Structure 1
Amino acid sequence: MRRALAPVAVLAVLASCTAVPSAETPQKTAQKAIVAAPAAVLAPARSPEPVRPAIFAFAGELTQGGWIKGSAPAGTRSLMFNGERVDFAENGGFFVAFDRDASPTATLTATLDSGAKVTHPLTVAPRAWRIENINIARRQSGASEAFMALRRPELARINGARAKDTGAQGWRQDFVWPVTGRISGRFGSQRVYRGEPGSYHSGIDITSGTSGTPFVAPADGVVILAAEKPFTLEGNLLMLDHGLGLNSAFLHCSEILVREGEHVRQGQVIGRIGSTGRATGPHLHWSMKWNDSRLDPILLTGPMR
């Protein structure tokens, strides 16, 4: 309707210009001003969108178990991290992380709409992990078939949950501690049995009061797994997707207070601490992964206060 009015107004001015003698220039100026006003309403001035530079901009923790987030160059068509394609937001925002055993170098590569490539090398600092040398041989007996019959479907469900893309935006936030208390287990710590390394600790353990202590979501997310019954190792397991491949897992819960598919907000109570599964006492085991890389949660939250 608005587009149909503009030609009519222009024709009226042209007709007026033909009929009015040249001496009446002020009248013609006034008529043109009247036509200009509706035009301004039809196409209001808009603030220009901020233009991203043709470089990477990011901040974070460039160390093993760490992370960075920022903006890809303007016009980025695809984004690669160490040769693997990674997701990024419509505005160019991205999140990538470094595994506990990450190599000392990494590379970000953006392919632009023009076909040009922008590459940014990264230096990943090593960390001194807490290693405990045990002067006993590691038990070599593998898991029994009876145990694996229970474990295989649990692992399939965990992997399936991590593969979900919910569009969550929690990755953009500054993470908070799900609960405060004594840190009884550090990320990356490991036992070595007569020179043979065992599995390292994949998360951070927080001991806070007794079983039943509530804990909260460290950032916005979507519930991608909420165990109906205890898993063999994790017990009552709760998992949140924070978007772009970043997720949190909370183990040994005494109670889960949210359901799969539910959107949760940072600071919302989502469960209660317990000792279900393979646990020696009430505590919250919080682990984080970005795609296949394990992160140290304390590098997202900062020291506990």
Structure 2
Amino acid sequence: MTVLLAAVLAAAPVVQAPNATPFALDAAPIQGGIARGTAPAGTVTLMLGPTPVPVGPDGRFLIAFDRDAAPAADLVATLADGRTVRQTLTVAPRAWRIERLDTLARGTAPTEEFTRRRAPELARIAAARAVERASDGWRQRFVWPATGRISGLFGSQRIYRGEPGAYHGGVDVARPTGTPVVAPADGVVALAADAPFTLEGNLLMIDHGMGLVSAFLHLSRIDVKPGDVVRQGQVVGAIGATGRATGPHLHWGMTWRGNRIDPLLAAGAMGVGG
């Protein structure tokens, strides 16, 4: 059901759309969530806070909210005649799974060898996310790339003697090595590792358009190459335990313009067999 959110007027000149709903979103804003909407007619630019939001020819757009998103965000459209339409979105908080380990230290500092290898890997990941690729996959209802036992939740975090560790940036699905992984939506292959990364192992990234990118970690194999156009449900690789993994599983992560997104919210409840 479409969620209708109240508009908040700001500095003049501002126009208010009928029924106080300048933007109709298909989901309520929530930390780690995505929402699709329709911009007012005549929109030239659209901003979510400081982040530019592309708008399709039909006025449709996608926005997303980081795991640690603030409680409110301004969505502002600038129209062709110079007027602006503004809506302040209330972003619902999430209760994250936090594990406190008061008797364990966070861990040892990375070795020089790890740091040497890691820098170019991070540069490749950043470069893959920086390119704007044409795809309408963001419009689709996402499906699970693999079904099985969920062994890791997005946003979970350990705190070692009061020092927070990095939170879990995706959702883990435990299945045997070789289990097929399918594209959760249409997209373009942004990165297909030709050798295992230190942490991610065999890493595959698919750009679904509008800045929405899926990443699949620890794969045993990758069946596509950079630039390939993939369709929802197409087999793109297989589950493995490459990189830093304690056992075979799929780690599915999603990002939107620097924001980390919860894939579980994008795909919904897992179907039969999950």
Give the alignment's TM-score, normalised by structure 1: 0.81
Q: Would you say the 8 A contact 1:55–1:74 is kept in 2?
A: no
Q: Would you say the 8 A contact 2:106–2:165 is kept in 1?
A: no
CA shift, 1:148, in A, is 1.1
With over 3 angstroms needed to count, the CA separation of the structure-2 counterparts of 1:149 and 1:65, relative to structure 1, is: same
Structure 2 equivalent of residue 75 of structure 1: 42
Q: Paired residue for 1:291, among 232, 257, 261?
A: 257
- CA distance in structure 2 between the partners assigned to 1:139 and 1:202 by the alignment: 18
Give ranges in structure 1 of 5+ residues lacking alignment.
1-51
Q: Deviations over 1:246-304 (max 9, x none)?
A: 00000000000011100000000000000000001100000000011000001011111
Aligned length: 253
Q: Relative CO higher for 1 or 2, CA cutoff 8 Å, sep ≥ 6? A: 2
Structure 2 equivalent of residue 21 of structure 1: none
CA shift, 1:140, in A, is 5.8
Structure 2 equivalent of residue 6 of structure 1: none
- CA distance in structure 1 between the partners assigned to 2:197 and 2:120 by the alignment: 10
Identity %: 59
RMSD: 1.4
What secondary structure does 1:151 align onto? helix
Q: Would you say the 8 A contact 2:44–2:77 is kept in 1?
A: yes
Instruction: Indicate the larger mover: 110-119 or 56-65.
Output: 56-65
Structure 2 equivalent of residue 173 of structure 1: 140
What secondary structure does 1:162 align onto? helix
One-letter identity of the residue aligned with 1:266: Q
Give ranges in structure 2 of 5+ residues lacking alignment.
1-16
Give the alignment's TM-score, normalised by structure 2: 0.89
CA shift, 1:144, in A, is 2.0
Q: Deviations over 1:138-184 (max 9, x none)?
A: 34642222211111110000000001111111000000000110000
What secondary structure does 2:208 align onto? strand
What secondary structure does 2:122 align onto? helix
CA shift, 1:137, in A, is 4.2
- CA distance in structure 1 between the partners assigned to 2:109 and 2:60 by the alignment: 44
Structure 1 equivalent of residue 117 of structure 2: 150
- CA distance in structure 1 between the partners assigned to 2:130 and 2:28 by the alignment: 25
CA shift, 1:84, in A, is 2.5
Structure 1 runs of 4+ with >4 Å offset:
none
Q: Which has the higher helix share?
A: 1
Q: Paired residue for 2:182, among 216, 222, 244?
A: 216
